[in-house]
Chains A and B, each alone.
Chain A
Amino acid sequence: DAGVIQSPRHEVTEMGQEVTLRCKPISGHDYLFWYRQTMMRGLELLIYFNNNVPIDDSGMPEDRFSAKMPNASFSTLKIQPSEPRDSAVYFCASSPDRGGPQPQHFGDGTRLSIL
């Protein structure tokens, strides 16, 4: 089975530009999570969805960040406008809904650098 697929793997852009990160979860998984990893703050949950509906976005840093899940097989995380402090590795993860928290399967991440 294909795992969680994220694109792009690397993104370098200048501050002020819009950045869109993409994620395809594992087929059949009902939960999708977006995380950010930095040296200073570690792994932070930004937002997660259940059956395409956002459940908790309390980790989204500010209004410049938005996430959507238009269908069960696709999600985007958008940053507009981007700032250098947004530089991080962004992970997408998915898990099935089988009663009780299940192991989350992570994508390879997108390494984002904002100049």
Chain B
Amino acid sequence: AQKVTQAQTEISVVEKEDVTLDCVYETRDTTYYLFWYKQPPSGELVFLIRRNSFDEQNEISGRYSWNFQKSTSSFNFTITASQVVDSAVYFCALSEPTYNTDKLIFGTGTRLQVFP
């Protein structure tokens, strides 16, 4: 069974639109960590955010915001007023310290294309 599900394979938007990337996770651990990474066309993986399971506050960083809801096991990522430079593949990842120490379990990624 998928531990991290990113159901949206590809999303296309026009610049300035808001877009939300979904991430649903599955874990038995009571303490766990969630991450988002960005992989632009150049190929490198860039860390965006880390959130632990005890911190359910939403986070905002510029045009980026994250909505963590334990009740639905989701950690969604919203880009407000998208720009062409946001075009990338975005990965959600889970770490379960009790079972897997520091391993990251990645979702399959969502490819975001922002058109001018």
Partner of A108, one of B43, B50, B52: B43
User: In the complex, which residues of chain B have a beta carbon less than 8 angstroms from the beta carbon of A106?
Assistant: 37, 44-47
Asked if A108 and B106 sit within 8 Å, CB to CB, the answer is no
Pairs A–B under 8 Å by Cβ, sample size 10: A31-B102, A33-B104, A43-B106, A45-B104, A56-B103, A101-B33, A101-B97, A101-B102, A106-B47, A109-B43
Number of A-B contacts (CB under 8 A): 52
Please give the residue numbers on chain A whose beta carbons come within 8 Å of chain B beta carbons, in ascending order: 31, 33, 42-43, 45, 48, 50, 55-56, 89, 91, 93, 95, 100-109, 111
Q: Are B47 and A91 in contact, CB atoms less than 8 angstroms apart?
A: no
B interface, CB within 8 angstroms of A: 33, 35, 37, 43-47, 50, 52, 91, 95, 97, 100-104, 106-109
Bound-state CA distance A100–B97 (Å) is: 7
CA distance A106 to B44 in the complex (A): 7
The reply to whether A100 and B52 contact each other, CB–CB distance below 8 Å, is yes
Which residues of B have CB within 8 Å of A103?
Answer: 35, 47, 50
Chain B residues with Cβ under 8 A from A95's Cβ?
A: 102
Interface of A: prevailing SS: strand
Q: Whole-angstrom distance from the CB of A99 to the nearest CB of chain B?
A: 10
Q: Given the complex, which residues of A lie within 8 Å of B104, measured CB to CB? A: 33, 45, 101, 104
Closest to B44 in A: A108
Q: Does B101 contact A55, Cβ atoms closer than 8 Å? A: yes
In the complex, which residue of chain A has the Cβ closest to the Cβ of B42? A108
Which residue among B43, B91, B95 has the maximum number of chain A CB atoms within 10 Å of its CB?
B43
Query: CB distance B33 to A100 under 8 Å?
Result: yes
Bound complex: CA of A48 vs CA of B103, how far in Å? 8
In Å, the complex CA distance between A18 and B80 comes to: 47
In the A-B complex, list the 7 residue pairs whose CB atoms are closest, starting with the nearest: A101-B95, A106-B45, A103-B47, A43-B106, A101-B33, A101-B102, A42-B108
